[in-house]
Structure 1
Amino acid sequence: MGYESPMPVQEEVIPFLLGEDNDVIALAQTGTGKTAAFGLPILQKIDVSKYQPQALVLCPTRELCLQIADDLSEYSKYIDNLRVLPVYGGSSIDSQIRMLKKGVHIVVATPGRLLDLMNRKTVNLNTIGSVILDEADEMLNMGFTDSINAILAEVPETRNMLLFSATMPQGIASITRKYMKNPKEIIIGKKNEGNKNIRHTYYMVQARDKYLALKRIADYYPNIYGIIFCRTRKETQEIADKLIQDGYNADSLHGELSQAQRDYVMQKFRIKNLQLLVATDVAARGLDVEDLTHVINYGLPDDVESYTHRSGRTGRAGKTGISISICHVKEKGKIREIERIINKTFEKGEMPNGKAICEKQLFNLVDKIEKVKVDEEEIESLMPAIFRKLEWLEKEDILKRVISLEFNRMLEYYKDADDLQIVDERSSRREERGSRADSGGRRSSSSEEGYTRFFLNFGKSDGLFPNQLIELINKCVPGRVRVGKIDLRDSFSFFEVEESEAKRVMNGMNGFEVDGRRISVEFAQEKKGRGSFGGRDSGGFRARKRDDQRRKERFDSRERSGDKPWRKRTTDKKGR
């Protein structure tokens, strides 16, 4: 299979697992050879004469389940009659039951489908000698804690337990205390540290320009072979559809696809019929694809562990890779947090302009022309006619026509393209100040000079965050809109835009719907000496009345329950 010497995690783990009664916690980044680290010693311990489950591998996703099962089948090529069964949702449970009845030695399973089989009494875990939790941190993140507890309760206490993970969140500690016996902790690198072979880069752009930035990055790396990670299934499908419409070799992978569709997309990606795979975070744990050049974060994930696993899809097995994040101003703090935890410094990338992209694409074409393999025999009979057809053209003319044929569309597209890079520091600081409104602090309702303040009938209780508000404005209002302060409250929000754009913003957003609920945007300039807001039938006043009513109801309920909320209340100098 091409292995010449063990990778660090294999060198540390394999000798230890070959012993008896050794529980192990191994922390290592994705792409470091963890499957072989637990797979090879487990295979050595299997008694093929007994057709009963002797090892159980639990993993979070269908893709990873299939990948591990395939790897174990390859590792056991010369072990006669050894049977490995992948058990996962989305495929026929009847065929899995038939295989279990015939007898298998190793079960690789997702927790949900394995519990289903256990409830049907079709799988017996009493003979399990080794349990492996692979990508344990992700299983906890996906809410499999109860399922894991139910499964481990059916496994003999004498089994060995092996826990493999790239990060070490708090939830893993409870599993180790409950189910593991004096586990040996093996750490390759530092806890939660990222792969040393990956270069981390971020591009700072306006939220409305994220897709344009993605296209430029894809164009700037003509030989890119990578994964674009999005936050939601809907966004994943939208970005994939846009890329396909714009002529890119791309497709999507997310949970709403059937298993057959997911297998088809993955097969195309593995054989490089696809250049770009647009995926949700679930796919981050199931894709073991060689030679990925890039991982692109279409916005940063909420937690550092997800970023670690996203970036770990590239730079595998000692190779180098690039992790690119397309960010807007409010995500700058998140970048610093990730840097601190993974102990890596992000490079601030300069968004390539049209000239640089076209130059890169042209030289890539020249490289291909230089390196193309010419089959003289195949084309020999065709060349005389081609020479006669082109004999009136000089060499320089032919080259110009080849280049024009290949690049006229791209040259035209980038001829008058705008600069996407954020260079207005004052605007950046203003947006950063706006993002701090998410902490719940209150602000003066007066607008900055040159800006108009609006009331919006969505707030934090509706799941609204500053970046989502900006994206909503961009979606409703065509063209560029500069956003000022953002002030998020529980049931409503305030935001500012330049005065010259105010009418366009209000007309564009009013009537727009989010999940069937109509948006209402109104002027919210506070009048001096009054506590209400101007504008038609003051929406801010209505929202404030709703909040007052909710507070009164909470106060009354606490009083009825015997609590004395008024004892904890104080007044300020104005008697409020």
Structure 2
Amino acid sequence: MKNFEELGVSPEILKAIKEMGYENPMPVQEEVIPYLLGEGNDVVALAQTGTGKTAAFGLPIIQKINVKKRIPQSLVLCPTRELCLQIAGDLNDYSKYIDGLKVLPVYGGSSIESQIRSLKNGVHIIVATPGRLLDLMQRKTVSLSTITNVIMDEADEMLNMGFTESINAILADVPEDRNTLLFSATMSPEIARISKNYLRNAKEITIGRKNESTNNVKHVAYMVQAKDKFAALKRIADFYPQIYGIIFCRTRKETQEIADKLMQEGYSADSLHGELSQAQRDAVMQKFRIRNIQILVATDVAARGLDVDDLTHVINYGLPDDTESYTHRSGRTGRAGKTGTSIAIVNMREKGKLREIERIIGKKFIIGTMPTGKEICEKQLIKVIDDIEKVKVNEEEIEDFMPSIYRKLEWLSKEDVIKRMVSMEFNRFLEYYRDRQEIEAPSADGRGERERRDRSDDGGRGRKAEAGYTRLFINMGKMDNFFASQLIELINKNVSKRVQIGRIDLMKNFSFFEVENEQTQTVIESLNRSSVGGRKVSVEVAGEESGSAPRGEGRGEGRKYGAPRRSEGAKPFRASRPKSTTSREERGYETARGPKKKEDWQNLLNGKEPDFSEEGWARRKPKK
């Protein structure tokens, strides 16, 4: 292995990076640095996050700068402001002993006027996000005609974020005889097109295998039902008391909701997403870097450019839509030669996506077993004991206080003191998990064993509420595009107090859900004043004997299970057996008010839903 001096790095830069702790070049640095120090050498480098890319392109472009000419000579494009600031900071550190070298970060969310002033004063290296740089170009406040080196860092992510047109416009304005370096985690068709159009005889350098995440990362998947995802997340966080990691969510809304829930329940957490101001994002990142918070809940875009080397875990709160994005997420841990764990909380519907990710990363997921309450309490107890062992005792400072402390505690034995100290931290976990139901892995049909036992042939209509809960009926179902998330959102929107929701059973045209007994009346009154899509919501207590839908108008405008809604002004359909059947009914004739065929009536009386699929209706058409 060569050292940095043998790679051709100048003495001024060597002095700076030695102070930063750089000893031997990483593989990507050993490959890229000598090549970029030459002229007319275009490179496509496939490397994951955390492989030392910034130094790989940063050291040679700094070394090639003519400080006497205060004009833009190198351009670094990156997808986010966080990464922009990180790269600019690193370049300033590398050039510490090069007098007069100016690096300017250009990104949205900060004053464009101050960036314009800095450009007028003269800069050597511009580190920019595509959107803000294009804005400056359109204002005629920056010229790229003197650029000799262009670096596109995390090019695949810039293309995923929709910067393709901006990149095309920027590269079209840069001299054709420049050096171009394109960094990407994956060789997608778009990356190949950019390489073909804008790079000349580019050398492809692959660090490790293409599309492979770091070998230091263990990949674990927990299979849960959708309703148990947050409870599963809590158990995972509790099972790893020393966790220092990122939870990735798919949307800004979900990110904020998960962070809020964690903070409300006492976890050291905060959120990072695009709706935060730049000042808020900087404040959150600073707290995370100095470990004032243990868990950062973030979107993929916001987490780009995080310069944190000691993450123990990355948790995927559901898998990303783009399976290759998983490599970026998992690459946030296991950096700088350390090990890490990438956890995915998934349901049965995501099994196909899990297999696709395994194909991309070239590894198999370990299917994890959800920790039990007892196992979590044991882990937390050990943490308390470890913390006590590690406490630094300042003998001189506490010496004067010890006599009164001894007198205060003299009636307690040594064992009693230890038990009480441990219990101060341990009791909250013990109380939380004492009577908590364990989370079961879903079976092949996507349901847990307990749920399958609870669901009888009537689809859950006959189920009784759990102890302490009341089972409620609501006249909205799957046919209304009404699912668990819509129900929770409806309750949160209309009920001012926090509502503890139990089991949810979704049917075609109506649903059941459970709330704590003392909240029942509040929920009923609040939801009955609401509407969804212009349709009035109707909620009431389900039938007491069987937990089924109540009779009368409250069961969705008098509809029988599975029956189509009556048209405006039509008479309510009555769910009683007709006194007789006519010849028309024998022939399968039906109306919009409900089934008229004997088999349908019999199904209703037996608590089964008639077949109202297209094939079912077709079978009932009258014979000509």
Percentage identity across paired residues of the two chains: 66
Contact 1:87 1:113 in 2 (8 A): yes
Are the structure 2 counterparts of residues 513 and 179 from structure 1 closer, same or farther at C-alpha, using a change threshold of 3 Å? farther
Q: 1:45 aligns with which of 42, 64, 67?
A: 64
Are the structure 2 counterparts of residues 525 and 514 from structure 1 closer, same or farther at C-alpha, using a change threshold of 3 Å? closer
Partner SS for 1:52:
coil
Partner SS for 2:151:
strand
2:458 partner amino acid: G
Are the structure 2 counterparts of residues 210 and 531 from structure 1 closer, same or farther at C-alpha, using a change threshold of 3 Å? farther
Match of 1:560 in 2: none
Are the structure 2 counterparts of residues 495 and 366 from structure 1 closer, same or farther at C-alpha, using a change threshold of 3 Å? farther
Q: 2:34 aligns with which of 1, 12, 15?
A: 15
Question: How far apart in 2 are the matches of 1:516 and 1:6?
Answer: 64
Match of 1:332 in 2: 351
**CA shift for structure 1 position 283:** 2.0
Are the structure 2 counterparts of residues 234 and 428 from structure 1 closer, same or farther at C-alpha, using a change threshold of 3 Å? same
Q: 2:275 aligns with which of 249, 256, 262?
A: 256
Match of 1:205 in 2: 224
Q: Does 1:480 align with 2:503?
A: yes
Structure 1 gap ranges (5+): 431-446, 460-467, 485-493, 537-542, 546-573
Partner SS for 1:278:
strand
After superposition, the C-alpha distances for 1:136-192 in whole angstroms (9 at most, x for unaligned) are 000000000000011111100010100001112111111111110010000112211
2:211 partner amino acid: N
Partner SS for 1:13:
helix
After superposition, the C-alpha distances for 1:425-465 in whole angstroms (9 at most, x for unaligned) are 445499xxxxxxxxxxxxxxxx9943289864556xxxxxx
Contact 1:451 1:499 in 2 (8 A): no
Contact 2:527 2:537 in 1 (8 A): yes
**CA shift for structure 1 position 393:** 1.1
Contact 1:230 1:280 in 2 (8 A): yes
After superposition, the C-alpha distances for 1:253-276 in whole angstroms (9 at most, x for unaligned) are 111111111111111111111111
TM-score (norm 1): 0.81
1:356 partner amino acid: E
Are the structure 2 counterparts of residues 6 and 500 from structure 1 closer, same or farther at C-alpha, using a change threshold of 3 Å? closer
Q: 1:110 aligns with which of 122, 129, 145?
A: 129
Are the structure 2 counterparts of residues 499 and 90 from structure 1 closer, same or farther at C-alpha, using a change threshold of 3 Å? closer
Q: 2:194 aligns with which of 175, 183, 186?
A: 175
**CA shift for structure 1 position 245:** 0.7
Partner SS for 1:285:
coil
Are the structure 2 counterparts of residues 426 and 120 from structure 1 closer, same or farther at C-alpha, using a change threshold of 3 Å? closer
Moved more, 117-126 or 472-481: 472-481
Are the structure 2 counterparts of residues 298 and 99 from structure 1 closer, same or farther at C-alpha, using a change threshold of 3 Å? same
Partner SS for 2:335:
coil
After superposition, the C-alpha distances for 1:89-147 in whole angstroms (9 at most, x for unaligned) are 00011111111111111000001110111111111111100000000000000000000
Match of 1:363 in 2: 382
Contact 1:525 1:533 in 2 (8 A): no
Moved more, 309-318 or 473-482: 473-482
Structure 2 gap ranges (5+): 1-19, 450-454, 462-475, 492-500, 539-555, 565-584, 596-611, 615-621
Q: Does 1:196 align with 2:234?
A: no
Partner SS for 2:504:
coil
Q: 2:105 aligns with which of 43, 64, 86?
A: 86
Number of residue-to-residue matches in the alignment:
505
Are the structure 2 counterparts of residues 90 and 355 from structure 1 closer, same or farther at C-alpha, using a change threshold of 3 Å? same
1:291 partner amino acid: D
Match of 1:343 in 2: 362
Contact 2:477 2:510 in 1 (8 A): no
Match of 2:551 in 1: none
Q: Does 1:387 align with 2:403?
A: no
Question: How far apart in 2 are the matches of 1:78 and 1:513?
Answer: 67
Match of 1:156 in 2: 175
Q: Does 1:419 align with 2:427?
A: no
Contact 2:255 2:298 in 1 (8 A): yes
Q: Does 1:119 align with 2:138?
A: yes
Question: How far apart in 2 are the matches of 1:194 and 1:101?
Answer: 42
Question: How far apart in 2 are the matches of 1:155 and 1:532?
Answer: 71
Contact 1:207 1:471 in 2 (8 A): no
Question: How far apart in 2 are the matches of 1:54 and 1:397?
Answer: 70
Question: How far apart in 2 are the matches of 1:297 and 1:202?
Answer: 9
Q: Does 1:317 align with 2:354?
A: no
Question: How far apart in 2 are the matches of 1:333 and 1:266?
Answer: 34
Match of 2:577 in 1: none
Contact 1:54 1:128 in 2 (8 A): yes
